[in-house]
A and B are shown apart, each in its own frame.
Chain A
């Protein structure tokens, strides 16, 4: 087990920066999820950590060892990392036990010791007695567990997961998620977990690194990411946040400030030290919107009502900004109809910090 630190890591392919100036410190035993839309550079980041790609600039340390910088790169086989691949990457010509025991065989471990370790690993992932099977005869979930056992058995200092649940069906996903969480708790291994699925990242990770276009957008706990997004990308990416233009009217006081949004004034949460400014943005979630019960708020047009069972998803265009689309849910009884006028209010929100300000 070891900590992992990335220091201003950049990886360029020809004239395209796949990863750009990313710095992350992962504590010993921490579960870090790297989250982002496809093509954001998260897989390249994993391959840099594993050593399959070389950094263009910056440094990567595993534990106290420098493993990558622009001058050179420690070979993947010398890094003691374990990887769980999206497609499992089990070797079809070996049995389950041979797959799991591969790294022990490569390390020329005593055969009896190796066999015991393989059995332990099989037990750890609930696959006792399956050692002689072929990977082709296993279900998707079982293959994933074999892959997990295979990377466990070598007691790696760091385990990398590359979208491990992307190929599984929904039911299996939930149970594997529990299994990963239990695995982390039991072993205390440092984990870097690549995914594009927010729910997965939120459920599993201590902290989440959100990436976009090769850059690190925010590195924070799931709660902070949801409630206090650092920029517009994170705000709109996480749980489909709604961004609204705002003018800040008052300085921060006790974590709140007054803003004007769509012609109405309201109080939102904000970072310490915010001052009045124009052209700001606030982020609110659909849960923060509500049909105004007392007449306060802003008017607009109900564009679409999609009934979803128990509640309807409402798309709403405010009169003060007809190009914006606000969406929220109205529980039964649904009273809004498409084409109708309505008045909404914003219950709460978060003032997105001005670009370039550190947290």
Chain B
């Protein structure tokens, strides 16, 4: 009997061990390495790095800028996202799923593409404004190269994030709580202000915290809009220091990245505090409230919503496409001047761009594949595991994604600057260091839908297989994986879309030969070749759209909420 017990425990131990190794390697190790660099650079405890960072005036200016655009962007995102969520969820507005799809779309587009698209829309060279002859004269400063420009685009980028969380909260609002207030004599607006919004405080706060972390850690938007105006935030300051100083300044940038991490954490802690101040727990479940009838205001509200969507989605993308068709900077687009040369150039002629497409595609595929394979056993332990310590697992996997990407990038640099001990393998200056960072950062994107997939599966299905004599690995392969596969694969596709035009991490980790799409796009834009950058953006956006449509085919097999753009 003892052998049989050992056999059955053996598989579980093996699974737990593998999962633990993955978590340590991809979540804990980089974070610990970063902390070590701050507290004890070179192996001895010292405050030199911290002091140097604190003395530099650039640090304080960038921190101030980070807070300004972080808070401004968060406010804008919370206001717009909440307003759209309320209108979509609580009123009888029509065409809801199309609205949700279009409103959430900017979230699936990389921030630097959003930035590029908006820049092309309003700049002096704007082919769109030239269509009406309304473009400002060449040489005029683009109005988006400013603090308010950065705040505006951060709001546009992360409004949908707030929308998704608040909408999820509103869906759980039991109708009785609204109806009791209406029976008490409160009109719709009063109910909204006194009942609905207060009850949504936890959702709104959580959304605000998430938006804040995203805004503070965002690299693409302040890089495209801020660097030309010499308006630096912490992520762009780190980028400039590393680009100028190389590994020598790593210690200094490590301090800056921890500073970003601290600011992001402060946002999350503030949210925790706010949500605990009152009791917002809704105990009952029920149907959602009847939609409020807008009556004769409905066409007006609908028109307003679609106008918003045209502004935040269609116009920028249109501007992007127009720019990609123009032969050169400042040339007006006509039937005669329109050309596909930019596409030909980036797809077939430019070496770095070619490499970038190749690199980004296989990096994204590898990251997605790895995450799907790992998410199934990790999700199993977290969702169905009996040990309490596995709950901590969840937290440590969330960490690399919750913290701004710059933090992880710096941690990876520190970790692999020197060859890996004992093996002598050098990851620094190769594409593999980017892959490592992607694996660490994006794992949670596949893990979240997988866990919710597990929660929707009846555990008895696995137990039946167990009774039938299947060991853990056999059950994993024949029962569990097929059941959670759709959710995990949907997560994998999300990772692919996110990683494909990722910039924050690769901007700090790339080297010649390991460029990614985001990096080449960025260097085109910095070199003034907006047309090439636009062409690359259009290609990636198109790939993303096609993938979204493909993923939709999986929708019937997915836990609800796995695909953010599906209502």
Contact = CB atoms under 8 A, between A and B. Distances in A.
Interface of A: 50, 52-53, 75-83, 85-93, 102-103, 106-107, 134-136, 150-151, 154, 156
B179 A77 contact: no
A50 B183 CA distance: 7
A82 B182 CA distance: 10
Nearest to B281: A92
B190 A106 contact: yes
Contact of A107 (B180, B185, B282): B185
B478 interface: no
B279 A93 contact: yes
Q: Which residue among B179, B190, B286 has the maximum number of chain A CB atoms within 10 Å of its CB?
A: B179
B194 interface: yes
A195 B279 CA distance: 31
B290 interface: yes
11 contacts: A50-B183, A77-B187, A78-B185, A81-B183, A83-B183, A89-B179, A92-B199, A93-B280, A106-B184, A106-B194, A136-B281
Given A89-B174, A136-B279, A106 B185 contact: yes
A154 B185 CA distance: 9
Q: Which residue among B181, B185, B194, B281 has the maximum number of chain A CB atoms within 10 Å of its CB?
A: B185
B355 to A, nearest CB: 56
B181 A102 contact: yes
Contacts, number: 86
Given A91-B195, A91-B199, A93-B198, A75 B174 contact: no
Interface size class of chain B, counting residues whose CB lies under 8 Å from the partner chain: 20 to 34
Contacts of A79: 183
Nearest to B198: A93
A247 B159 CA distance: 75
A150 B201 contact: no
B176 A75 contact: no
Contacts of B187: 75, 77
Contact of A93 (B179, B201, B284): B201
Nearest to A103: B184
Contacts of B281: 92, 136
Interface string B268-306: 000000000011111110100010000000000000000
A152 to B, nearest CB: 11
Interface in B180-230: 180-187, 190, 194-195, 198-199, 201
B177 interface: yes
A89 B180 contact: yes
A10 B180 CA distance: 24
Interface of B: 174, 176-177, 179-187, 190, 194-195, 198-199, 201, 278-284, 286, 290
Given A93-B201, A134-B279, A77 B182 contact: yes
What are the 8 A-B residue pairs with the smallest beta carbon separation, nearest first? A103-B184, A89-B176, A87-B284, A89-B180, A76-B182, A106-B186, A85-B176, A83-B183
A58 B292 CA distance: 23
A91 B284 CA distance: 11
Contact of B283 (A53, A75, A107, A136): A136
A89 B282 CA distance: 9
Nearest to B190: A106
Given A52-B179, A89-B179, A102 B186 contact: yes
Contacts of A91: 177, 180-181, 195, 198-199
Given A87-B283, A92-B281, 13 more contacts: A76-B179, A78-B185, A83-B183, A85-B176, A87-B176, A89-B179, A91-B199, A92-B283, A93-B201, A102-B184, A103-B186, A106-B184, A135-B279
Contacts of A78: 185
Contact of A87 (B174, B182, B198, B280): B174
B180 A85 contact: yes
Contacts of A102: 181, 184, 186, 194
Q: Which residue among B179, B183, B185, B190 has the maximum number of chain A CB atoms within 10 Å of its CB?
A: B183
A57 B334 CA distance: 60
A81 B181 CA distance: 11
Contacts of B186: 77, 102-103, 106
Contacts of B194: 102, 106
Contacts of A81: 183
A83 B185 contact: no
Q: Which residue among A82, A89, A102, A136 has the maximum number of chain B CB atoms within 10 Å of its CB?
A: A89
Nearest to A93: B198
Contact of B184 (A85, A92, A154): A154
Contacts of A75: 182, 187
Contacts of A83: 179-180, 183
Nearest to B195: A91
B190 to A, nearest CB: 6
A209 B460 CA distance: 44
Nearest to B179: A52
Contacts of A107: 185
A156 B186 CA distance: 14
Q: Which residue among A76, A80, A83 has the maximum number of chain B CB atoms within 10 Å of its CB?
A: A76
A102 B185 CA distance: 9
Contacts of A82: 183
Nearest to A99: B180
A327 B36 CA distance: 81
B185 to A, nearest CB: 5
Nearest to A143: B283
Q: Which residue among A78, A91, A135, A136 has the maximum number of chain B CB atoms within 10 Å of its CB?
A: A91
Contacts of A93: 198-199, 201, 278-280
A77 B176 contact: no
A88 B180 CA distance: 9
Given A87-B286, A103-B185, A50 B279 contact: no
Contacts of B174: 87, 89
Given A89-B177, A102-B194, A106-B190, A76 B279 contact: no
Given A83-B180, A92-B282, A52 B290 contact: yes
A150 B185 contact: no
Q: Which residue among A77, A83, A107 has the maximum number of chain B CB atoms within 10 Å of its CB?
A: A77
A89 B290 contact: no
